[in-house]
A = this chain, B = another copy of it.
Amino acid sequence: MEAVPYLAVLAAVAALGLAAFFYGNVKKASPGDERMVFLMTEIQKGAKAFLKQEYTWVSGFVVVMAVLIALVIAPLGAVSYVLGAVLSAGAGYIGMTVATMANARTTEAAKDGPAKALPLAFRGGAVMGFSVAGLALLGLSTCYILFVLGTGGEDAFEIITAYGLGGSTIALFSRVGGGIYTKAADVGADLVGKVEAGIPEDDPRNPATIADNVGDNVGDVAGMGADLFESYAGSILAPISLTAFALSIDADAIDASIHVPLLMFPMAVAFVGMIASIIGSFTVRGGTSTDSSALSKALHLGTNIAMGLTLVATVGLAYWLFAGDDFEAPYGLAVSVIGGLVVGWALGKTAEFYTSDHYGPVKKIANQSETGPATTILGGISAGMVSVAASVALIVIGVGVAYWGGQITLEQLALDNPAIPVGFGGIYGIALAAIGMLATTGVVVSVDAYGPIADNAGGIAEMAELDPSVREVTDALDSLGNTTAAVAKGFAVGSAALTALALFKSFEFAVAKAGGELSLNVGEVEVFIGLIIGAGLPFLFAALTIDAVGRAAQQMIEEVRRQFREIPGLREGKPGVNPDSARCVAISTKASLREMVIPGSLAVVVPLVVGFIDVGALGGLLAGALVTGFALAIFMANAGGAWDNAKKYIEAGHHGGKGSDPHKAAVVGDTVGDPFKDTSGPAMNILIKVMTIVALVFASAFV
């Protein structure tokens, strides 16, 4: 049983090996002709320049936090924090590097049809998927081996929790910065290019096209990679730190037969999930048809296999670790994990229902576009809000099932041993449910990262003015990417809520361990004040990020207009006249970095300030931010997705098709939805976790 952390290291190394292997696959594919290589290189340069500047800025923040952790918590905590930050940044960087290599190669492969292009795009995504999962698990299990099994001081678990905070810090800034970048460029490119100049999307004449493609990579790839790094690490950390803090209040009363399996199970599930993901990833092959359901089946096969294997293995693990006198029904913990997986899947399906044009809600919004943009907007807002209610119902079921499962297995514990809090088993089950959603992160992220690669491949096909048949293939691959993203989103938002809840409980125990008195009774005025502040914060955060996109987009719009005005022959497409793309890239980079500072810092500074004033108020704040942030995240993501696909549905020829009045109305909806779904919404998930994990790491200092 003690071998589990070492097995986790092994699985992580295997995942990284697989990533390296896929990297080789991608690298040896041809990137196409000179023009395509040029475009690819431009996108790559822009993306790397952004990440370099972003990481430079964030590293300043990381240093300040590290010093604070070293002084207030423990010097080793700073080491663990920096490790989490560096690995998370590294995962984003690797993913982005490969994605910007895979794009042109996918375009080139698309000349031979989807059978060649689909696996290539998938393997490009898989480099990131397995880098993210591999690095996260490697770092975490190494920290565990070094700081818990090794030095093993009293604050060992604060120290490894700081690892999660490191990952979360990078994730927060990457999501906010990358989200602002990608939408500023997108809006700028669309508004001037498509609307004012009347040229198609990804047209090489548009100065913002390169920036737009860079944005896909820094937002959807690097940002998403860092996000999933922190989600994955956080979901494994949450049950570990929960166990550690809950059972350390009266540490002498707990013996190893209880302690050890509880600490090992999360890493063991991660181990089997990783192996299953590796197996699953080899089953993804492209067919010969561009038919969307065949492609979708091919792409999802790997995920389905990985999930199935994980489910079966989890039951075995539960019996292996928990069969014994103290543990009455080992299957309970497997139920928690499986419950999480099923609910995560259902959340993804819910997101798909509300955002895919195969179902009623999006068709209804498209229909509402007949009466103009106002009804389009109201339709999307209402669909997004209803989807909140549906998702709340699912999370409630997930929490209930996972709690029940944990209690079934562990309830004997609290009865036998008064040092173990009543209800601990249930919360442990909830934490496991988040792992259920994320154990197969390797393959889930591979599928997710496939999306922007296919999107970029289409962009390059357009900019390089290739044969329309190539664009047809990339379009088929791309449209698939839009629905696959829904699954990953469901897991991300569901696991965020469950992980945050588990970390929130860990915070409660950590305060108790530090000798503090923490009331989370919302009937008390301090807690209630915290609750209402917490409910208000996600609104402020959303407003700040929306405004940031608006301001950055404005600068982009002015620059694109200027170039069309001042560069003779650009609009007409005179041969040899090229736009100054680099300048657009530089503007997006500068604006988004400047704009990410305030919302990003808010998430870290507010809980610190409130925590040092009153720890009960901080508890209320976390609860308020968690429930409202969850609701707002789903609202914004699904409303945005619904508008996007309503527009695409109309563009596919319904309600008058492209250029019709309903289409214009739908474009308005899509533009409103852009910062909703790609900036504010995804960042909200990280916001709630960052705040909770800050509280947890600093809990002993607050008391």
Residues in A lying within 8 Å of B, measured CB to CB: 191, 195, 368, 371-375, 377-379, 381-386, 388-389, 391-393, 395-396, 399-400, 403, 423, 426-427, 430, 497, 501, 504-505, 508, 519-525, 527-529, 531-537, 539-540, 542-543, 546-547, 549-550, 554, 557, 619-620, 623-624, 627-628, 630-631, 635, 667-669, 671-672, 675
Q: What is the CB-to-nearest-CB distance from A669 to chain B, in angstroms, rounded to a whole number?
A: 8
B668 touches A377 (CB 8 A): yes
B381 touches A535 (CB 8 A): no
Q: What is the CB-to-nearest-CB distance from A623 to chain B, in angstroms, rounded to a whole number?
A: 4
Q: What is the CB-to-nearest-CB distance from A350 to chain B, in angstroms, rounded to a whole number?
A: 13
What is the CA–CA distance of A391 and B540 in the complex, to the nearest angstrom?
11
A535 CB contact (under 8 Å) in B504, B628, B675: B628
Q: What is the CB-to-nearest-CB distance from A246 to chain B, in angstroms, rounded to a whole number?
A: 11
A532 CB contact (under 8 Å) in B505, B531, B534, B627: B627
What is the CA–CA distance of A521 and B531 in the complex, to the nearest angstrom?
12
* Max chain B Cβ within 10 angstroms of own Cβ: one of A427, A547, A557: A547
What is the CA–CA distance of A378 and B624 in the complex, to the nearest angstrom?
25
* Max chain B Cβ within 10 angstroms of own Cβ: one of A391, A497, A525: A525
Question: Given the interface contacts A522-B623, A535-B628, A630-B535, does A375 sit within 8 Å of B550 by beta carbon?
Answer: yes
B389 touches A540 (CB 8 A): yes
A543 touches B389 (CB 8 A): yes
B539 touches A635 (CB 8 A): yes
B628 touches A550 (CB 8 A): no
What is the CA–CA distance of A382 and B636 in the complex, to the nearest angstrom?
13
In the complex, besides A374-B667, A535-B628, A668-B668, 12 extra interface pairs with C-beta distance below 8 angstroms are A374-B669, A378-B671, A379-B550, A382-B550, A383-B543, A389-B537, A393-B536, A399-B525, A399-B532, A521-B522, A522-B619, A535-B535
* Max chain B Cβ within 10 angstroms of own Cβ: one of A385, A396, A554: A385
Q: What is the CB-to-nearest-CB distance from A646 to chain B, in angstroms, rounded to a whole number?
A: 14
A631 CB contact (under 8 Å) in B372, B427, B525, B536: B536
What is the CA–CA distance of A664 and B421 in the complex, to the nearest angstrom?
61
Q: What is the CB-to-nearest-CB distance from A564 to chain B, in angstroms, rounded to a whole number?
A: 16
What is the CA–CA distance of A423 and B523 in the complex, to the nearest angstrom?
10
B392 touches A524 (CB 8 A): no
**Cβ of A395: which chain B residues have Cβ within 8 Å of it?**
532
A668 touches B505 (CB 8 A): no
Q: Please, which residue of chain B has its CB at the minimum distance from the CB of A372?
A: B668
* Max chain B Cβ within 10 angstroms of own Cβ: one of A368, A523, A543, A624: A523
A396 touches B533 (CB 8 A): yes
**Cβ of A430: which chain B residues have Cβ within 8 Å of it?**
525
**Cβ of A546: which chain B residues have Cβ within 8 Å of it?**
378, 381-382, 385
The 4 A-B pairs of least Cβ separation, nearest first, read A392-B536, A374-B671, A385-B543, A535-B627
A386 CB contact (under 8 Å) in B403, B501, B540: B540
Q: What is the CB-to-nearest-CB distance from A585 to chain B, in angstroms, rounded to a whole number?
A: 22
What is the CA–CA distance of A521 and B527 in the complex, to the nearest angstrom?
10
What is the CA–CA distance of A532 and B623 in the complex, to the nearest angstrom?
9
Q: Please, which residue of chain B has its CB at the minimum distance from the CB of A534?
A: B627
B533 touches A392 (CB 8 A): yes
A550 touches B504 (CB 8 A): no
A675 touches B388 (CB 8 A): no
* Max chain B Cβ within 10 angstroms of own Cβ: one of A368, A381, A505, A534: A381
A540 touches B385 (CB 8 A): yes
Q: What is the CB-to-nearest-CB distance from A122 to chain B, in angstroms, rounded to a whole number?
A: 34
B675 touches A525 (CB 8 A): no
**Cβ of A531: which chain B residues have Cβ within 8 Å of it?**
522, 623, 627
What is the CA–CA distance of A522 and B531 in the complex, to the nearest angstrom?
10
A522 CB contact (under 8 Å) in B522, B630, B669: B522
A539 touches B385 (CB 8 A): yes
B627 touches A399 (CB 8 A): no
What is the CA–CA distance of A549 and B519 in the complex, to the nearest angstrom?
43
B528 touches A389 (CB 8 A): no
What is the CA–CA distance of A543 and B354 in the complex, to the nearest angstrom?
14
A668 CB contact (under 8 Å) in B373, B501, B528, B529: B373
A529 CB contact (under 8 Å) in B386, B396, B535: B396
Q: What is the CB-to-nearest-CB distance from A378 to chain B, in angstroms, rounded to a whole number?
A: 6
Question: Given the interface contacts A525-B427, A529-B399, does A668 sit within 8 Å of B374 by beta carbon?
Answer: yes
B539 touches A388 (CB 8 A): yes
Q: What is the CB-to-nearest-CB distance from A519 to chain B, in angstroms, rounded to a whole number?
A: 8
Question: Given the interface contacts A501-B528, A532-B630, does A382 sit within 8 Å of B547 by beta carbon?
Answer: yes
Q: Please, which residue of chain B has its CB at the minimum distance from the CB of A379?
A: B550
A528 touches B672 (CB 8 A): no
Q: Please, which residue of chain B has its CB at the minimum distance from the CB of A554?
A: B371
**Cβ of A519: which chain B residues have Cβ within 8 Å of it?**
521
Q: Please, which residue of chain B has its CB at the minimum distance from the CB of A543?
A: B385
- Chain A to chain B contacts (Cβ below 8 Å), 18 pairs: A191-B371, A368-B550, A374-B667, A375-B671, A378-B675, A382-B546, A385-B542, A389-B536, A389-B537, A389-B543, A391-B536, A392-B535, A396-B529, A508-B523, A522-B531, A523-B619, A528-B623, A536-B631
What is the CA–CA distance of A191 and B628 in the complex, to the nearest angstrom?
34
B672 touches A377 (CB 8 A): yes
B505 touches A389 (CB 8 A): no
**Cβ of A550: which chain B residues have Cβ within 8 Å of it?**
368, 375, 378-379, 382
